[in-house]
A and B are shown apart, each in its own frame.
Chain A
Amino acid sequence: NAGVTQTPKFQVLKTGQSMTLQCAQDMNHNSMYWYRQDPGMGLRLIYYSASEGTTDKGEVPNGYNVSRLNKREFSLRLESAAPSQTSVYFCASRVGQPNTEAFFGQGTRLTVV
């Protein structure tokens, strides 16, 4: 059971470079999320997709774009990376019904130098 798979696990970028973080889930979930977690902190919502074909901004969307490619995949793009985007990024998915459990990937540790 793969659950939620994120790639890559680690990445170092130079300021101004772009990259896409990939996320795929095999649980047939409707809703998918991208969060960032800074050291010792909680999770801040970047973007989410309540269902295939929809995306909405979260608390900290600036500097990011997302694509809900299909029901399984939800990607996060950094167009021009900045040191302030150094963080651990988590993708999550859930059924989409109220009050259901969110399942998380293992995270992508991104460093922007």
Chain B
Amino acid sequence: TQLLEQSPQFLSIQEGENLTVYCNSSSVFSSLQWYRQEPGEGPVLLVTVVTGGEVKKLKRLTFQFGDARKDSSLHITAAQPGDTGLYLCAGHKAAGNKLTFGGGTRVLVKP
């Protein structure tokens, strides 16, 4: 069982539709990060959320950190085929420097 649970594991949608990916835990994190990974590459950071209730926007992507700092969501508006990839959330706790990842959500946006 992973400390960070992502849902759904796989999402297939048509271009122009919206989607939401969730990242949940029973633990409190000092911050959560979202990464995107393309095939054959390492993950690349999209955003870091630090404050409970924080909302950050990155073009068509909206990220939210839960009030209790135990969960986060990623919402994509009007998805495009270029949004296809593996989305990973990662949590950092206040003590130590451990960075733990969730199981990932594979997103496929069909043209």
Contacts of B30 in A (CB 8 A): 98-99
B104: contacting residue among A41, A96, A102, A105, CB under 8 A: A41
CA–CA, A50 and B99, complex, Å: 10
Shortest C-beta distance, A91 to chain B (Å), equals 9
A68 within 8 A of B: no
Q: B88 near A99 (CB under 8 angstroms)?
A: no
Q: B43 near A59 (CB under 8 angstroms)?
A: no
Number of interface residues of A (CB under 8 A): 30
A15 within 8 A of B: no
Number of interface residues of B (CB under 8 A): 29
Which of B55-63, B72-80, B90-98 interfaces with chain A?
A: B90-98
CA–CA, A56 and B104, complex, Å: 24
Q: B50 near A99 (CB under 8 angstroms)?
A: yes
B99: contacting residue among A33, A105, A106, CB under 8 A: A33
Q: A45 near B98 (CB under 8 angstroms)?
A: yes
Shortest C-beta distance, B102 to chain A (Å), equals 5
Mark each residue of chain A from 81 to 103: 1 if its CB lies under 8 Å from any CB of chain B, else 0: 00000000010101010111111
B31 within 8 A of A: yes
Residue of B nearest to A32 (CB): B97
Report 6 cross-chain contacts, Cβ distance below 8 Å, ordered by A residue: A42-B103, A43-B104, A45-B101, A96-B97, A99-B50, A101-B33
